[in-house]
Amino acid sequence: MKKNIRQCLFLIAGIALLALFSHKYSFRIDLTAEKRYTLSPETRQILRQLDAPLHLNVYLEGDMPAGFRKLRNGIREILDDFKRYAGSRLSCDFIDPSEAVEMKEREQFYAELEETGVRKITVSETNRDGSLSQQTLFPGAVASCGNRMSAINFLNNNGTLSPDRALNASLEGIEYELIKTIRTLSADSIEKIAFITGHGELGRAETYDLGLEYANYYDVDRKTINGKPDALDHYKAVIVAKPKEAFDERDKFVIDRYIMRGGKVIWLIDAVEVNTDSLFSSGLTFALASSLNLEDQLFTYGVRINPHLVQDMANHPIVVTLADGSSNPVPVPWLYHPLVNASPAHVVTRYLNPVWLRYAGDIDTVGTDSGIRKTVLLRTSQHSRTKAAPFMIYLNERIPEQEQFNRPHRITAVLLEGKFPSVFRSRSVKNMFPDLNEPQATVSVDTKMAVVSDGDIARNDVRNTLQGAVPAQPLGYDRYSRRTFANKDFLVNVLNYLTDDAGVMKLRNREFQLRLLDRQKVNRELLKWQIINVLLPVLIWICGGIACGIWRRRKYGRPATPIP
């Protein structure tokens, strides 16, 4: 008896020690080919360095379609992994945004969520009786650290992907979306970026939505150079958004000096100027080449923006009023508003929807400098062509035959990485800056820049109201078609890539192999597998019971041996 008690106590103590050890030193082996359940080294490093407590409210809970339950489970699994490295500094709650019984209370909560930046979607499902039901979902989260807060949207809404592939793309991006926000919120200081001003660039209202999005990650400023050599020294990156006036040599040197020291620049340049007000008021306008005095500088860095306008069969229409006297505006195709395709191979543009450009030029990559890597980010469709300025644009232009669109895949955005030669490498700047006491650099340190041949890519519409207010529309949103294009996502990804010193952006390249069922085979063999799944377990149970009965009968059913 004592021996049995002692063994029982040893067994309980062993189980307790094993549970304690497994809780503190848990591990698992990821046997998936794409390492689906393994966090990247960059993610683990950021989580280990997390100092302040950070909390996540994930709004994917309750009754949902199967695809969104899979997305929720993927988020839960990754957050569990995050906690292994962040410990108690990271906490999360899963909340059902539709749990309120009263409709008014639910609608109020929905509005509050949308104000934080979590996007709402409406999912339609066909019930068994053939009726259609709709459900409001918020596939996102809100992260808070101290008095700072940021929204996270997990759902990839690329309209070119099937629902299964869109869901898979969302699962691939969970780690990136989470760790990007955690890194930003937990940073000790916020990096500063600036929109360059002073040359007729887009104003604050026209870049309001983009600036608001950038403010989730950076301290956004607007900076006039005024020929001061150190004007840009404190900025991680700068944006030159659609200048209309020529740059003087002093400002060009300031930007060049900034690049030589490792600064990052996003150039959003119109090589051709089009007056759209004149076009809509008189039915015609001139397309004139712009003179920004940046041609030699960009050429030195490895690109040339040609004084052309791109025309593309894949375009977004404009809304005009017909001459037949009807007051209702109608959409008509407009070749000068191309919908350009994003490169699927690069982290900046992977899984992006089409980008809406307006009066864009085309870019040539120039030079043979092996120290500069050039990556095409955006290009037109195969049915495109270019027209060299100057020329007339008519509102009632007829669409040419498809055979005339003979310049396919024109480059409209390119990424440059490496060590750039200075545009002032063979010139002395002492006459411009007599007090500048520093060596004049001839080549930059390793850095990056992006060049886009359309300044309007960053411009949101601004609508005047009767009250005099000028509310900014979302960037990339067209109020007539109610479509939202990927302009904002593209520019945010570009800036994040340029300033990504920790290598977080490469997480966007994670790829999970989509292993879909053969639906034809499923439908063909549905009855067979239903019978197997329903009857086979019952048969196994019955056979086991019969075998057990036979074994017991043989062992205990023998006739008793008579006592002599």
CA torsion angle 449 451 457 458 (round to 10): 30
pLDDT at 512 exceeding the cut of 70: no
Q: Give tens-digit pLDDT for 277-312.
A: 889 888 899 999 998 999 999 999 999 999 999 999
Task: Specify the pLDDT at position 544.
Answer: 87
Same domain, 446 and 482: yes
Among all chains, which residue has been given the structure tokens 């499923």? 522
pLDDT tens track for 364-398: 999 877 789 999 999 999 999 999 999 999 988 88
**Neighbour-count burial of 217, counting CB atoms closer than 10 A to its CB (0-12 exposed, 13-18 middle, 19+ buried):** buried
Residue 84 makes CB contacts below 8 A (sequence gap 6+) with: 26
Higher-scoring residue by pLDDT: 36, 63: 63
- The answer as to whether 62 is a domain residue is yes
**Residue among 380, 347, 386, 357 at smallest CA distance from 508:** 347
pLDDT band of 142, cuts 50, 70, 90: very high
- Which DSSP helix (H) or strand (E) runs through 392? strand 391-394
Q: What angle do CA 473, 474, 479 make, to 5 degrees?
A: 60
Same domain assignment for residues 173 and 239: no
Answer whether 458's CB lies under 8 Å from 202's CB. yes
- The closest of 214, 213, 148, 197 to 499, measured between CA atoms, is 214
Q: How far apart are CA 74 and CA 518, in angstroms?
A: 23
Residues 76 and 152 grouped into a single domain: yes
Q: What is the pLDDT of residue 127?
A: 67
Give the residue from 136, 160, 185 where a domain finishes. Answer: 185
Q: Which residue has the higher pLDDT, 126 or 55?
A: 55
* CA atoms within 13 A of residue 13's CA, in its CB half-sphere: 6
Q: Which domain holds residue 48?
A: 32-185
Find the CATH number of the domain harbouring 337.
Answer: 3.40.50
Q: 317 and 170 in one domain? A: no
* CA distances, 560 to each of 549, 554, 556, 564 (Å): 19, 13, 10, 12
Whose tokens are 């596939």? That residue is 139
- Residue-level pLDDT at 32: 65
**Cα–Cα dist 139/141, whole Å:** 7
What is the residue-averaged pLDDT of the chain? 86
Q: Nearest to residue 241, comparing CAs of 271, 277, 203, 276?
A: 203
Q: Are residues 178 and 210 in the same domain?
A: no
Please tell me the number of Cα atoms within 13 Å of 131 on its side-chain side: 3
Which helix or strand (DSSP H or E) is residue 107 part of? helix 103-116
Q: Are strands 284-289 and 391-394 parallel, antiparallel or unpaired?
A: antiparallel
At 31, the amino acid letter reads L
Confidence of residue 314 (pLDDT cuts 50, 70, 90): very high
CB 213 within 8 A of CB 77: no
Contact 451, 363 (CB under 8 A): yes
Which pLDDT band, with edges at 50, 70 and 90, does 559 fall under? Answer: low
Name the one residue in this structure whose structure tokens are 């309980």: 12
Same domain membership, residue 263 and residue 298: yes
- Domain end residue (candidates: 471, 498, 525): 498
| 194: CB partners within 8 A, 6+ apart | 220, 221, 222, 223, 232, 235, 238, 239
The verdict on 231 and 89 lying in the same domain is: no
Residue 274 forms beta bridges with which residues?
287
Local structure of 139: helix, strand or coil: coil
Please report, rounded to a whole number, the percentage of residues in the chain having pLDDT higher than 70: 89
Q: What is the pLDDT of residue 390?
A: 93
The Cα 283–Cα 332 span in angstroms is: 14
Got the DSSP string for 477-517?
Answer: EETTTTEE-THHHHHHHHHHHHT-SS-GGGGGG--------
* Predicted local distance difference test score (pLDDT) of residue 356: 95
Answer whether residue 118 is part of any domain.
yes
Q: What is the 3-state secondary structure (H, E, C) of 404-463?
A: HCCCCCCEEEEEEEECCECCCCCCCCCCCCCCCCCCCCCECCCEEEEEECCHHHHCCCEC
Query: Does the pLDDT at position 235 exceed 90?
Result: yes
Buried b (16+ CB within 10 A) or exposed e, 385-421: bbeebeeebeeeeeeeeeeebebeebbbbbbbbbebb
For residues 170 and 211, membership in a common domain is answered with no
Are residues 93 and 225 both part of a single domain? no
Most confidently predicted of 174-183, 317-326, 468-477, 485-494: 485-494
pLDDT band at 167 (very low <50, low <70, confident <90, very high): confident
Assigned domain for 559 exists: no
Cβ-based neighbour number of residue 14 at 10 Å = 10
Residue 382 has what pLDDT?
A: 93
Least confident of 332-336, 338-342, 343-347: 343-347
Find, among 238, 231, 146, the residue nearest to 494 by Cα.
238
- Identify any residues that bridge with 148 across adjacent strands, giving them in sequence order: 145
CATH number, domain of 67, equals 3.40.30
Each residue's pLDDT tens digit, 100-134: 778 888 888 888 888 888 888 887 776 666 667 77
> Given CA atoms 545, 550, 556, 560 in this order, what sign does their dihedral have?
positive
> Which tokens sit at 88?
């108690």
Given a cut of 90, whether residue 363 has pLDDT beyond it is: yes
Span 22-44, pLDDT tens digits: 655 556 666 566 666 678 888 88
Kindly state the average pLDDT of the residues 8-18: 76
- Number of domains observed in the structure of the chain: 2
Residue 286 in contact with residue 390, Cβ under 8 Å?
yes
Confidence of residue 272 (pLDDT cuts 50, 70, 90): very high
pLDDT value, residue 313: 94
Residues 227 and 124 in one domain: no
> Two tokens at 184?
């930003």
Same domain, 382 and 429: yes
pLDDT at 131: 67
Q: What whole-number distance in Å separates Cα of residue 286 and Cα of residue 301?
A: 30
> What does R_g of the chain's alpha carbons equal in angstroms?
31
Contact call for residues 253 and 300 (beta carbons, < 8 A): no
Residue 12 lies in a domain: no
- Report yes or no on 14 lying in a domain: no
DSSP state of 93: E
Is the pLDDT assigned to residue 458 strictly greater than 60? yes
Residue 231 CA: distances (Å) to CA of 225, 226, 228, 267, 420: 6, 8, 5, 18, 20
144, part of any domain: yes
Q: pLDDT, tens digit, for every residue of 407-444?
A: 999 999 999 999 999 999 988 888 888 888 888 899 99
Res 469 pLDDT > 60: no
Same domain, residue pair 335 and 463: yes
Measured CA distances, 246 to 125, 267, 270, 430 (Å): 56, 14, 12, 22
* Residue 7 belongs to a domain: no
Q: Tokens at residue 527, please?
A: 């009855």
| Length of the chain in terms of residues written | 564
168/67 Cα distance (integer angstroms): 10
For residues 460 and 209, is the Cβ–Cβ distance under 8 A? yes
Q: For residue 51, is it within any domain?
A: yes
Q: Which of 498, 526, 544 is the last residue of a domain?
A: 498
Between 173 and 237, whose confidence is greater? 237
